[in-house]
Amino acid sequence: MKPPAQASALHFFREHFGLDEQRLTATLDSVLERRIDYADLFFEHTTQDSVVLEEGIVKSGDRHLEQGVGVRAQNGERQGYAHSDDVTVESLRVAASTARTIAREAGGGGALAVAANARGARDLYPVAEAPTDVPVQRKVALLEEIDRYARRLDPRVKQVMASCIAQHRQLLIAGSDGTLVGDVRPLVRLNVQVIAESGDGARREASYQGMGGRHAFDLLLEPERWRPLVEEAVRIAALNLEAEPCPAGAMTVVLGPGWPGILLHEAIGHGLEGDFNRKKTSAFSDRLGERVAAEGVTVVDDGTLPGRRGSLNVDDEGTETQRNVLIENGVLRGYLHDRLNAKLMNTAPTGNGRRESYAHIPMPRMTNTFMLAGDDDPQDILRSVERGIYAVSFSGGQVDITSGKFVFSASEAYRIENGRLGAPLKGATLIGNGPDVLTRVSRIGNDLALDRGVGTCGKDGQSVAVGVGLPTIRVDELTVGGTQG
């Protein structure tokens, strides 16, 4: 039987790097020598491989190993951070000295013995075999089958690109408050892109679909899982060959379930992260207890969903993830916190301290962020719209955290006329303000769905895996930028 992630990670770092409690304690003591408030160590050993197939040929394949340690020293609002890719006693000493120097000249505290605690005992993503241990031949065979299947579905498919990524990440986190937590994090992802061409060759359209999560790679090999993904990619590419130019102006917009939650993530979620609110640079600063959304709108960030891409047993500071209610029935209830911002705002960490790797300092970040379902039938929501746009999926967007203003491009959208879906539309762009959009939500569907597991969030140069979700919702009077007036 596979040992739990906590025990497995602790054993790995002891066996491979000799990182026992005595050495960890000695390093933390050295950081705390000059009255530092808090210190922690973050060890990482990550293996990742990827295979890319294009036009039926393996275009690229790689495998790389990343390992190292980050040492952080906190002193009030100041943080010193140093890292090394050499996990040895000497590299720990140098990194600890550097971090301490950066953050010195205030604070209190003293040396605390590191002791294992109960946190991290759960395992939200148990796998019997590391995704990176699956033979590359099986991964190549999967991609070749995807290529053949996509071409069989529609003769208009002219190009197929498919790729798979597997990651096996082992972590050890030790803090001066006694934290000693390990985690083993699998992560897999399958990507499919197709290009379809009209019969006369005058028009080409591309479509991308992906899926993944923190689970065994073998799940991606199951035809009942990857075939619907390929079918969706082909369907949307073929659909957009017939798409009409999108009208522009203020109109009712219906957002479909699942991936459109990326708008919620970008336009609202970032504004609820603790650092922006502590610095009062968010549109939601100092608004706890106030109504910030329409009645019925409840937004949560939940890092405890088994197997989801954004889920974690513990965050990158060793705090257990949890289900955080951010907006409840339209009222702002909380922010997302790491240790530092929680302390400075006199509240508790929420399990949202995240970092890209050992070379990066942690900060408040989302995990799986979504709006809860309402009571409305999705078809009734569509029937309630006289003239508008139904946006099913998005391909990208931009957001200003301070103002909440956003621009998102729809990759699949339809015209709504007299309560019925009309022609597919090309070039639909949604323009608005995140906090304002929440107040314009007039109906919420009963069909909450999470995305297929492809979300990656960027902040201050760091990227982390996230999940998003949304039920069908109706938003009144949203600005749509199109290709005709």
Domain assignments of the chain as residue spans, ordered by start: 5-240, 245-481
pLDDT at residue 484, as a whole number: 53
Q: Which of 172, 165, 203, 232 is nearest to 8 (CA)?
A: 172
pLDDT at residue 119, as a whole number: 44
Rounded-to-integer distance, Cα 19 and Cα 306, Å: 29
Q: What is the pTM of this model?
A: 0.92
Any idea what the Cα angle at residue 350 is, between residues 38 and 295, rounded to 5°? 150
pLDDT at residue 17, as a whole number: 84
Does domain 5-240 fall into CATH 3.30.2290.10? yes
State how far Cα 3 lies from the chain centre.
Answer: 27
286: phi > 0 → left, psi -120 to 50 → alpha, else beta; which? left
pLDDT at residue 1, as a whole number: 52
Phi, psi of 422 (to 5 degrees): -110, -145
pLDDT at residue 134, as a whole number: 96
Rounded-to-integer distance, Cα 215 and Cα 197, Å: 35
Rounded-to-integer distance, Cα 265 and Cα 485, Å: 29
Rounded-to-integer distance, Cα 230 and Cα 179, Å: 45
CA distances to 106, 355, 403 from 461, in Å:
29, 10, 20
pLDDT in tens, the chain (485 residues): 566 777 888 889 888 888 777 778 877 777 666 677 888 999 999 999 999 999 899 999 999 999 999 989 898 888 988 888 988 777 777 777 776 676 654 333 333 334 444 444 689 999 999 999 999 999 999 999 999 999 999 999 999 999 999 999 999 998 888 888 999 999 999 999 999 999 888 899 999 999 999 999 999 999 999 999 999 999 999 999 999 999 999 999 999 999 999 989 988 999 999 999 999 999 899 999 999 999 999 999 999 999 999 999 999 999 999 999 999 999 999 999 999 999 999 999 999 999 999 999 999 999 999 999 999 999 999 999 999 999 999 987 777 877 778 899 999 999 999 999 999 999 899 999 988 999 999 999 999 999 999 999 999 999 999 999 999 999 999 999 876 54
Beta bridge partners of 171: 44, 183
